[in-house]
Structure 1
């Protein structure tokens, strides 16, 4: 069965974006960006919610020649990586992507059962829909030294606790990674 990882940047007070929806405070330095590139190579399939897909598709396929080598490397990785985009409003997707408008929980269960590699879920809304169903196997949180005071919380309200086990911590110049495994 495929493992599903939820990897996301988060502020010290638990928000994934600020009140204006900005994530500019999560911009990685070269060390952290290279870590993300290396991790992304190991991902078999990337699952995107509509908003994340639109954000990524707006920039990465069109990264300027003046971008750093690390950014250009990620642009190539992202455009080539198989992606499943969950949306009820999009009518088409590009860059090695498949559009799914059906029930995300059922589709993710099917995708997990369809192999033994690693998938990642991107997009807080999509991840929130999967949380109550126990479909996320690993959480990689990149904690930034920033207090936002509001925005979108990392986790939605839940009906029950989700026990996790701390598996790894790693210090970067711009963030601390906390890696948790679901019990």
Structure 2
């Protein structure tokens, strides 16, 4: 069965963006950017909600030639990685993506059962739909030293708690990674 990772840059107070939807406070240093590139290379499939897909598709397939090599590398990785985009409003998707407009929970269950690799979920709304169903196997939070006071929370409200086990911490100059396994 495929493992599903939910990973996000998050403020100290638990938001993935600020009240205006901005994520400019999450700019990674080179070490963290390389970590993300290496991690992304290991993924079999990347799952995206509509908002994240549109944000990523707006930049990564069009990385300027004068951008740092580490950014150009990620642009190539993102463009070529198989992606599943969950949206009821998009008519089509590009860059090696498949569009799913019905029942994200059932589709993710099928994807998990369809192999033994690693997938990641991107997008807080998509993650919020999957978390209560126990579909997330691992959480990777990249906590930035900022308090936003509002925005989109990294986790949804839940009817019951989810037990986690801390398995790794890693310090970067712009964030601290906390890696947890679901119990």
Category of TM-score, reference length = shorter chain: over 0.9
Instruction: Name the SS for the 1:88 alignment partner.
Output: coil
Runs of at least 5 residues in structure 1 that lack an aligned partner in the other structure: none
Deviation at 1:154, TM superposition (A): 1.3
Deviation at 1:105, TM superposition (A): 0.1
Q: Give the match for residue 43 of structure 1.
A: 43
Q: Give the match for residue 142 of structure 1.
A: 142
Instruction: Name the SS for the 2:179 alignment partner.
Output: strand
Name the CA distance, whole Å, in 2 between partners of 1:132 and 1:58. Answer: 30
CA-based RMSD of the aligned residues comes to: 0.4
Q: Give the match for residue 24 of structure 1.
A: 24
- Runs (4+) off by over 4 Å: none
TM-score, with normalisation over the residues of structure 2?
Answer: 0.99
Name the CA distance, whole Å, in 2 between partners of 1:61 and 1:42. Answer: 19
Runs of at least 5 residues in structure 2 that lack an aligned partner in the other structure: none
Q: What does residue range 91-170 of structure 1 map to in structure 2 within 5 Å? A: 91-170=91-170
Instruction: Name the SS for the 1:22 alignment partner.
Output: coil
TM-score, with normalisation over the residues of structure 1?
Answer: 0.99
Name the CA distance, whole Å, in 2 between partners of 1:91 and 1:154. Answer: 27
Instruction: Name the SS for the 1:111 alignment partner.
Output: helix
Q: Give the match for residue 90 of structure 2.
A: 90
Deviation at 1:150, TM superposition (A): 1.0
Deviation at 1:153, TM superposition (A): 1.2
Name the CA distance, whole Å, in 2 between partners of 1:154 and 1:82. Answer: 24
Aligned length: 183
Q: Give the match for residue 180 of structure 2.
A: 180
Q: Give the match for residue 63 of structure 2.
A: 63
Deviation at 1:152, TM superposition (A): 1.1
